[in-house]
Structure 1
Amino acid sequence: MFPMQGKPLEGIRVIDYSHFLAGPYLSRCLAALGAEVIKVERPGSGDAGRDHPYFIEDQSGYFMQQNMGKKGISVNVKDPRGKKFLQELVKTADVFVENYRPGALQRLGLGYEELSDLNPGLVYCSISAYGHTGPDSHRPGFGLIAEAKSGIMSMVGKPGEAPPLLRIALGDLYTGAHGVSAICAALLGRVKSGKGQHIDMALYDTLVSMHEYAVQCYTLSGNKEIPQQTGHDLPSSTLYGVFRAQGGDLVIAAQVDDAWKRFAALISTQTNSPDFATDTRFHSAAGRNENREEILSIVRSWAMNKTVDECLTDLDAIDVPCAKVQNIEEVLNDPQIQARGMILEQDHPILGKVKLANLPFKFSGYSTDIHQPAPLLGQHNQTIARDIGYDEETIQELIQSGVFYADPKVSDLNLDQA
């Protein structure tokens, strides 16, 4: 065991003025790394993510997952007193995260120029669909829009059919993860320069950057090769794809020569294709790609005559990468996931024990598990106000005037001092 250390971002204060997913995921990661994250929400309805399922007792699991480990305030920034409060809070902060359409926060007096005047060391991270420059910067968008625009969606699904939804928020989460890297780099740069800066992250940019193959395929082919939908395998990487067996589906990755030789020998001994392993047409990647349909036909027949478990047992025995296509119940019961601590249990003040997906960070010197659940709306209004110097009379005035808002359950459960 390594001695436990302080988390790397302890002492860093983050103002999370974001909603839905990309920004909240980013700031959740910062909280896991030790930052104090203060989530700012509008009075009454709060973050729009609170209205996103799955719901239990009016609590959103979507919101809980992306906002764990944060303190929460709800303040009306359209009221001059609320705006003043947020500006005072920003003076104490290191990082400000927002994911509104470009121009929206400038109109509220909360843009980078305004806030950096108050706090020159502030690292201000903006996330939007298209970024703060370019002809589309004014347009609204979600991850779905970026997935469609980026070319990723055009390559998935069966040829000739409309592409499917990816069913995970690839653009939001990957942009959030990049935002974590950029913020940490900017904080390190601030140590040298003493100054913060504006980080401009776009969902569209992020997804285009993920093309490990398509962009260079097109540019290096003289703008001739455009990757298309391929269905269940990759024509440029035979054998690499999804195969149906009895009782389910599995994936096989035998595209590398050494793995292919072991795999071909297995197929030869278990099917009526004794020459499969010795056929010289299949001994190179190019040859396998050229004869892809013949190979796929034999492999599909092999898989369909076995159960998924039988296929996996045979492939594991010869060290060919493979896996069952698991549903979410199987994932949560997977001993590997359990051993890695990827399902996190928290004590929620309303729901009791809840289980949510953990972050993938694994450090030798400290745990990044977050056991503090997401805040109720306005849960820490008074705590944060006191922290930045507001007296009790002023705090009560802000509460009575509606500048501060809190879910009634905060008072009922005596959480406003938490």
Structure 2
Amino acid sequence: MTTQSLPLAGIRVVDYSHFLAGPFVSRCLAALGAEVIKVERPTEGDAGRTHAYLINGQSGYYLQQNMGKEGLCVNIKDPRGLELVKKLVDSADVFVENYRPGALKKLGLGYQELSKTNPGLVYCSVSAYGHTGPDAPRPGFGLIAEAKSGIMAMVGSPGEAPPLLRIALGDMYTGANAVGAICAALLGRVKSGRGQHIDLALYDCLVSMHEYAIQCYTLSGGKDIPKQAGHDLPNSTLYGVFTAKDGYVVIAAQVDDAWKRLARLIGGEALAADTRFHSQSGRNAHRTEILGIVRAWVQELAVSDCLSLLDGIDVPCAKVQNIDEVLADPQIQARGMIVEQEHPVLGKIRLGNLPFHFSECDTTVRTPAPLLGQHNRQVAAKLGYSPEEIEAMVKAGVLYSEAAVTEAVAG
């Protein structure tokens, strides 16, 4: 039941970002109740608009990360356009950008300049390496951060090139950190009356994810460097991926009691009573032997039968699912992790939801991502521009919108 306003209701966010990390941040803020105005350039807009999956000129990639926002497409190379954006920022609580450090400063949209007229502004920058350090000027993407962070070096099979993760771990994790940092800065502003600049780097965020590798290396005096281990974790036997007759399953029996239950299921009392395997250190020492036993057992079973047996003894397990199976999963459906929206061009669409679940409010975003320039007139009117001034900027190309906007209005 919805009994409270969304947590960020009344907060205005200017999203001056593109592609993924920045748009994901402001998408989350929109879901939490903020008014998010996405600023794009004529005539291409956010680079994410050309990224797959494309249908009828619309990008699913863009739709996924920009739902719940208003769209403003403005030419800031025209003084009128730059003035409009600065007026917008002066009215805002948060500014989100993910350009290379220094790029927006050249345009007059850096933190130092914008905070002079809006000292309460929380300005969040997301970049590959951050705004300080020797690598700050270098370009980079999530892939670069994944490689440099040490994460990629631990993934895959020994002797083979590390695989691509196929999810944008660096961008999404940095975005999640940015959401937390922005909310904290807004809370801090209540006490101080001032905003601040938040400087987040993809590289930093991925290095901060190491719950294991850094402490292993430092506490071992540099002797322990986690390497590729293939399909299991050498220091958490038994914890890995196994091949069944018709697919793959993961089994997490690295805890002593779970291992004993699994051993009893697979090998009876004799295996369960083998004291060599009763501690994690013992199992790690005999990892090859244990893997052989479990692999032989799993490969004789269908995935469904394997899971049924493991569930029966309360050993954590799961099928390695493809995305079609994920969307059909009753658990995902029960949790509302797929949201349905009505798009002015595509009609009914289904996209992934955010994992926010509040007891007193619903954070599901029902409004789709904006068409390019869809809300130009509305945003300008909010800032005090007259209908005549707005029309003049439209005719001069200072405000631009794609053809679908006119068609949607006419329709």
TM-score range, shorter chain: over 0.9
1:379 to 374, 377, 402: 374
Separation in 1, partners of 2:66, 2:206 = 24
Counting only pairs closer than 5 Å after superposition, residues 93-172 of structure 1 correspond to structure 2 as 93-172=92-171
Separation in 1, partners of 2:399, 2:375 = 10
Does the aligned pair in 1 maintain the 2:124–2:199 contact within 8 Å?
yes
Query: Per-residue CA shift, 1:250-304, capped at 9, x if unaligned?
Result: 00000000101111100114xxxx6221111101100000000000001000000
Query: Which residue in 1 is equivalent to 2:15?
Result: 16
Query: Which residue in 2 is equivalent to 1:399?
Result: 394
Query: Which residue in 2 is equivalent to 1:184?
Result: 183
Does the aligned pair in 1 maintain the 2:2–2:362 contact within 8 Å?
no
1:313 to 301, 304, 308: 308
Query: Which residue in 2 is equivalent to 1:359?
Result: 354
Counting only pairs closer than 5 Å after superposition, residues 200-211 of structure 1 correspond to structure 2 as 200-211=199-210
- For the residue of structure 2 that corresponds to 1:276, the secondary structure is helix
Counting only pairs closer than 5 Å after superposition, residues 245-394 of structure 1 correspond to structure 2 as 245-269=244-268, 275-394=270-389
Q: CA deviation at 1:61?
A: 0.3
Instruction: Give the letter aligned to residue 75 of structure 1.
Output: V
Query: Which residue in 2 is equivalent to 1:58?
Result: 57
Separation in 2, partners of 1:74, 1:152 = 38
Separation in 2, partners of 1:24, 1:223 = 39
Query: Which residue in 1 is equivalent to 2:71?
Result: 72
Does the aligned pair in 2 maintain the 1:123–1:199 contact within 8 Å?
yes
Q: 1:191 to 1:217 in 2, by over 3 A?
A: same
Q: CA deviation at 1:102?
A: 0.2
For structure 1, the residue ranges without an aligned partner over 5 or more in a row are none
Instruction: Give the letter aligned to residue 172 of structure 1.
Output: D
Query: Which residue in 1 is equivalent to 2:172?
Result: 173
Instruction: Give the letter aligned to residue 163 of structure 1.
Output: P
Root-mean-square deviation over aligned CA pairs = 1.0
Q: 1:3 to 1:412 in 2, by over 3 A?
A: closer
Q: CA deviation at 1:415?
A: 7.8
Does the aligned pair in 1 maintain the 2:237–2:254 contact within 8 Å?
yes
Separation in 2, partners of 1:415, 1:311 = 57
Query: Which residue in 1 is equivalent to 2:39?
Result: 40
Separation in 2, partners of 1:44, 1:193 = 40
Does the aligned pair in 2 maintain the 1:121–1:194 contact within 8 Å?
yes
Superposition misfits of 4+ residues, deviation over 3 angstroms:
none
Query: Which residue in 1 is equivalent to 2:80?
Result: 81
Could you tell me the percent identity over the aligned residues?
70
Does the aligned pair in 2 maintain the 1:153–1:163 contact within 8 Å?
yes
Instruction: Give the letter aligned to residue 379 of structure 2.
Output: I
Separation in 2, partners of 1:315, 1:393 = 70
Does the aligned pair in 2 maintain the 1:379–1:415 contact within 8 Å?
no
Q: CA deviation at 1:98?
A: 0.1
Determine if the alignment matches structure 1 residue 92 to structure 2 residue 91.
yes
Instruction: Give the letter aligned to residue 115 of structure 1.
Output: L
Separation in 2, partners of 1:163, 1:275 = 39
Separation in 1, partners of 2:36, 2:341 = 18
Separation in 2, partners of 1:136, 1:79 = 32
Query: Per-residue CA shift, 1:93-138, capped at 9, x if unaligned?
Result: 0000000000000000000001001100000000000000000000
Separation in 2, partners of 1:407, 1:145 = 33
Separation in 2, partners of 1:106, 1:160 = 45
Separation in 1, partners of 2:386, 2:236 = 66
TM-score computed with the length of structure 2 as normaliser: 0.99
> How many aligned positions are there?
411
Q: 1:258 to 1:415 in 2, by over 3 A?
A: farther
Separation in 1, partners of 2:85, 2:2 = 38
- For the residue of structure 2 that corresponds to 1:16, the secondary structure is strand
Query: Which residue in 1 is equivalent to 2:235?
Result: 236
- For the residue of structure 2 that corresponds to 1:244, the secondary structure is strand
Separation in 2, partners of 1:250, 1:261 = 19
Q: CA deviation at 1:4?
A: 1.6
Instruction: Give the letter aligned to residue 137 of structure 2.
Output: H
Does the aligned pair in 1 maintain the 2:21–2:126 contact within 8 Å?
yes
Separation in 2, partners of 1:3, 1:130 = 40
For structure 2, the residue ranges without an aligned partner over 5 or more in a row are none
TM-score computed with the length of structure 1 as normaliser: 0.97
Does the aligned pair in 1 maintain the 2:189–2:195 contact within 8 Å?
yes
Separation in 2, partners of 1:289, 1:275 = 19
